[in-house]
A and B are shown apart, each in its own frame.
Chain A
Amino acid sequence: MSATFVQFLLAGLTVGAIYALIALGFSLIYNASHLINFAQGEFVMLGGLATVFVFAAGVPLPLAALLAILAAAAVGVALYLFGVAPARGATAVGLIIVTIGASILLKGLAGVVFDRNFHGLPPISGEEPLRILGATLAPQSLWIFGVTAAVALALWLFFTRTLQGKAMLAAAFNPLAAELVGVDPRRVVLVSFALAGALGALAGVLVTPLAPTHFQVGTMLGLKGFAAAIVGGLGSGPGAMVGGLVVGLAESLAAGYLSSAYKDAIAFVIILLVLVLRPSGLFGAKTIERV
């Protein structure tokens, strides 16, 4: 393997892990409420920008990151309580409009509350790159791999080993039956929005040392995370992880070998291909609609 190829692979896996975290947020909310949350990318932006500003105010980095993640979780809950829940009567198109509206609103607020400049963060453990097969890897990438894997493991344990997690799965599978055995569907959706907010913000905290953040950075990151969720199959946890890595790798390899100018288009070409060839995604269950 040539060093350049390894370099593209490592870059693709790094950004792919970030897309995977964002895709997990899409799938969590989709499972709980059959809603596509187009504001998911704004959680990433909020996580990054809030950490930058709290850190600049003198708070230690880990605490600043934690505060930003909690704040994004709170924004997720607010989005459900004040946006999605009151619009329950709206059509599927209407709910898409609500979350797109929320996304534009959050972007606008961030531009006013924070500022409109690019901001970076110091990497967690230095900038001395590691050498792997002739390629270089920033230590931050190792943090991204580690944290994403830990999150995936934690979510798997949560959904298979805890009562709350199993209740959420039950509610996603059959809301009425779950309610009959005592699962509060409203609580399930609330927890999903909080978790999705926290996961998005975590992705933002992790990626900001590598790619500077900005109040408008959420749109593209969110759309690519959505692409990852679709590729893997909406609602599937392992699908979100694999989808994220597939989109990240494809983007990095295409940018390296085909055209860096069209890097951002790759994710959307993949989406169109997947939607035409296999609409349920790589891991999604084939659905049969009852008439």
Chain B
Amino acid sequence: MRLPSSRHLGLAVLAAVLVLLPLALPGTYALDVLTNVGIAAIVCVGLNLLIGYAGQISLGHAGFFGIGAYASAILVTNEGWPPLLAMLAGMALSGLLAFAVARPILALRGHYLAMATLGLGIIVSIVLSQEVELTGGPDGMPVDPFTVAGLELTGPLAWYATVAVSLLAVTWLSLNLVDSPIGRALRAVHGAEIAARVCGVDTTAYKVMVFVLSAVIASYAGSLYAHFAGWLTPDEAGFLRSIQFVTMVVLGGMASTFGAIVGAALLTALPQFLTVFHDYEHVLLGAVMMATMIFLPRGLVPTLATRCARSGG
């Protein structure tokens, strides 16, 4: 039984960590890494709702991340839209696409769903690299800075603060959703889909809702990333990026919102410290993925939480 207070406690701890981190790790470089961690974490908190709570795998979420990023890049840089409006347009487009494909795809299960989302993600990344006129193709395109009402979002600390506040908001949304009747319905879908349906849970509607929500969140993070990085390539929407998002969720711990954040932090920050092993980056990523599933099938945070609870009680 999850007490409401534990939800607020977790959120408070996250907020404290987010405030203390830039004090503990000062410097532009560390702040940039932390901002990248935050952006990945936003995607993972949304993806965890789908993978961890609804039990549906998506191997194509970088596609939605890419749609958001390129919507911002194209509409702001080429068309001169206000960034906030472009970001909303990207989220609407991602949401609509997710909704359009979700109903037929989410009737599928397991491997077939993995395959369908994979296909969708790859089609998005191929379109982004082929429409050279619009996106600059594989070489990428520049993105104008993020401005609201004439004020430009600039400097590492301002970016870190924006991303940190966004992450808190998404985490709050996720924790509330999980503890709501919708969250219980989702866990029922995960545990025993047919039993849930027999009990009157409209399983498809819930799965579609979570799929659309996680796509919109990924798109939002993509828009932030585009303005933050200032340069965008189709790799951001590619297969490997989708795999990285899924790995972050699984490494941190499925069905654990804070696990998703920990996973995103580890997989984003780790390569920064392992630049000496640049040639072995793929080898290490692959080995981490396999080792996690073999030794910690439930992921880092849930496994550690169980251990602490055991030794504490």
Taking Cβ atoms with an 8 Å cutoff, the residues of A that contact B are: 36, 83, 86-87, 89-98, 100-109, 111-112, 219, 223, 226-227, 230, 234, 261-262, 264-265, 268-269, 271-272, 275-276, 279, 289, 291
CB distance from B92 to the nearest CB of A (A): 22
Partner of A93, one of B57, B239, B288: B57
Verify B104–A94 contact, CB threshold 8 A: no
Q: Would B282 and A272 count as touching, CB distance under 8 A?
A: no
B75 part of interface (Cβ distance < 8 Å): no
- Chain A's closest residue to B238 (CB) is A219
Contacts of B115 on A, CB cut-off 8 Å?
A: 36, 226-227, 230, 271, 275
A102: chain B residues within 8 A (beta carbon): 286, 290
- The interface size of chain B toward A, counting residues with CB under 8 Å, comes to 47
Question: Which residues of B are found within 8 Å of A265, using beta-carbon distances?
Answer: 122-123, 126-127
In the complex the two chains form, is B283's CB within 8 Å of A101's CB? no
A265, closest chain B residue (CB): B126
A-binding segment of B11-19, B159-167, B212-220, B242-250: B242-250
Q: Nearest chain-A residue to B290 (Cβ)?
A: A101
Q: Knowing A101-B290, A108-B283 touch, does A96 contact B114 (C-beta < 8 A)?
A: yes
Encode B271-299 as 1/0 by CB contact (under 8 A) with A: 00000000111111111111011100100
In the complex where A276-B104, A279-B108 touch, is A97 in contact with B279 (Cβ < 8 A)?
Answer: no
Q: Are B126 and A105 in contact (CB under 8 A)?
A: no
Query: Is there contact, CB below 8 Å, between A105 and B283?
Result: yes
Taking CB atoms and an 8 Å cut-off, the chain B residues in 197-244 that contact chain A are 239-240, 243
Q: Does B153 contact A (CB under 8 A)?
A: no
A272/B290 in contact, CB under 8 A:
no
Whether the Cβ atoms of A111 and B282 lie closer than 8 Å is yes
Specify which of A98, A107, A276 is in contact with B293 (CB 8 Å cutoff).
A98
Name the contact of A112 in the complex, choosing from B59, B105, B246, B279 (C-beta under 8 A). B279
CB contacts (< 8 Å) of B279 on chain A: these are: 111-112
Question: B289 contacts A223, CB within 8 Å?
Answer: no
**Contacting residues, chain A, for B104 (C-beta < 8 A):** 275-276
13 example contacts (A-B, Cβ-Cβ < 8 A) are as follows: A93-B254, A96-B114, A104-B282, A104-B286, A108-B286, A112-B280, A223-B118, A262-B130, A264-B122, A268-B119, A268-B120, A271-B115, A275-B104
Check A105 against B112 for contact (C-beta < 8 Å).
no
Seen from chain B, the residues whose Cβ lies within 8 Å of a Cβ on chain A are 51, 55, 57, 59, 101, 104-105, 108, 110-112, 114-116, 118-120, 122-123, 126-127, 130, 194-195, 239-240, 243, 246-247, 250, 254, 279-290, 292-294, 297
B55 surroundings in chain A (CB, below 8 A): 93
Residues of A within 8 A of B286 (CB): 101-108
CB distance from B144 to the nearest CB of A (A): 27
Kindly state the separation between the CA atoms of A146 and B78 in the bound complex, as whole angstroms.
53
Q: Flag if A276 contacts B289 (CB, 8 Å).
A: no
A108 touches B293 (CB 8 A): no
Determine which residue in A96, A100, A109 has the highest number of CB atoms from chain B within 10 A of its CB, and name it: A100
Contact A97 B280 (CB under 8 A): no
B290 touches A105 (CB 8 A): yes
Would B282 and A98 count as touching, CB distance under 8 A? no
Contact B194 A291 (CB under 8 A): yes
Contact partner of A101 (CB less than 8 A), chosen from B116, B240, B287, is B287
Task: For B110, give its contact among A87, A92, A219 (CB under 8 Å).
Answer: A92
How far in angstroms is the closest Cβ of chain B from A105? 3
In the complex with contacts A86-B294, A104-B282, A104-B285, A97-B250 CB distance below 8 A = yes
Find chain A residues with CB under 8 A from B123 CB.
265, 268-269, 272
Going nearest first, the 3 A-B pairs with the smallest beta carbon separation are A108-B282, A105-B286, A101-B289
Distance of A243 Cα from B26 Cα, bound (Å):
56
Q: Report B-chain residues with C-beta under 8 Å of the C-beta of A272.
A: 101, 105, 116, 119-120, 123
Closest to B287 in A: A105
For B112, the chain A residues whose CB sits under 8 A away are 230, 275, 279
Task: Report whether A105 and B282 are in contact in the complex, using a CB–CB cutoff of 8 Å.
Answer: yes
Contacts of B250 in A (CB 8 A): 93-94, 97
Q: Does B111 lie within 8 Å of A97, measured CB to CB? A: no
The residue in chain B whose Cβ has the minimal distance to the Cβ of A39 is: B286
Task: Kindly report which residue of chain A lies nearest to residue B101, judged by CB atoms.
Answer: A272
Looking across the interface, which residue of chain B has its beta carbon closest to that of A267?
B119
How distant is the Cα of A223 from the Cα of B240 in the complex, in angstroms?
A: 13
* Given contact pairs A97-B292, A97-B293, a sample of 5 additional A-B residue pairs in the complex whose CB atoms are under 8 Å apart: A94-B250, A97-B247, A101-B286, A104-B286, A268-B123
Assembly CA distance A101 to B118 (angstroms): 16
Residues in B whose Cβ lies below 8 Å from that of A275? 104-105, 108, 112, 115-116, 119
Are the C-beta atoms of A95 and B105 separated by less than 8 Å? no
Q: How far is the CB of A273 from chain B (nearest CB, A)?
A: 10
In the bound complex, do residue B130 and residue A100 qualify as a contact, i.e. CB atoms below 8 Å apart? no
- Name A105's closest neighbour in chain B (CB-CB): B286
| Chain A residue nearest in CB terms to B120 | A272
Residues of B within 8 A of A219 (CB): 239
Contact among A94, A96, A103, A104 with B297 in the assembled complex (CB-CB below 8 Å): A94
